[in-house]
Amino acid sequence: PGSTSTKIAIFEDEKEIFSKTLRHTAEELSPYATVASQFQFRKNIILSELQQAGWDIHGFHAIVGRGGLVKPIESGIYEVNDALAHDLEYPVMGEHASNLGGLIARDIVREMHNGTKAYIADPVVVDE
């Protein structure tokens, strides 16, 4: 998620096979007092768009969300574990829609119940 959009992409190996950018107007986001309160709205539109496009999330091998404003870390791919989820939910580096990416990914894989893991990749705070 970004401040005014939510981007979705599906990759097979390194090849992008689906992508969609959903733009959000100020009016659409106005009911949400904080970025964190947009969580369910953003998650629901992601799942809805995937379903409308004919994708079954249960066939995915991983879910990757945009990395948020976590503590400075090296570039890479990080599994969204309890500690990382805490840093995304209670950000010390500031509140931004990108913080929702890993949390949404984690919530989706929890609903899948099939061992799929949630990750973030190269969060915006990469310090290299």
Q: Tell me the per-residue pLDDT of 4-20, one tens digit each, with 9 for 90 and over.
A: 999 999 999 999 999 99
Q: What size, in residues, is the chain?
A: 128
Beginning with the edge strand found earlier in the chain, give each strand of the sheet holding 77-79 in spatial order: 62-66, 117-121, 77-79
pLDDT given for residue 93 in this prediction: 81
User: What angle, rounded to 10 degrees, do the helices at 39-52 and 99-112 form?
Assistant: 60
125 three-class SS: coil
For residues 7 and 49, what is the distance between their CA atoms, to the nearest angstrom? 11
25: pLDDT strictly greater than 90: yes
Q: What is the pLDDT of residue 11?
A: 97
Q: Which domains does the chain have, with CATH numbers?
A: 5-121 (3.30.420.40)
For 42-52, how does the pLDDT look when each residue is reduced to its tens digit (9 = 90+)?
Answer: 999 999 999 99
How many angstroms separate the first and last alpha carbons of the chain?
23
Other residues' Cβ atoms within 10 Å of the Cβ of residue 24: 19
Secondary structure class of 93 (helix, strand, coil)? coil
**pLDDT, tens digit, for every residue of 52-69?**
999 999 999 999 999 888
Distance CA 109, CA 77 (A): 16
pLDDT tens, residue by residue, 70-115: 888 889 999 999 999 999 998 888 888 999 999 999 999 999 989 9
- How many whole angstroms separate alpha carbon 26 and alpha carbon 11? 30
Is residue 24's pLDDT more than 90?
Answer: yes
Q: What pLDDT is recorded for position 31?
A: 96
Q: Within 13 Å and on the Cβ side, how many CA atoms surround 63?
A: 27
The pLDDT assigned to 92 comes to 80
Tell me the whole-structure pTM to 2 decimals. Answer: 0.92
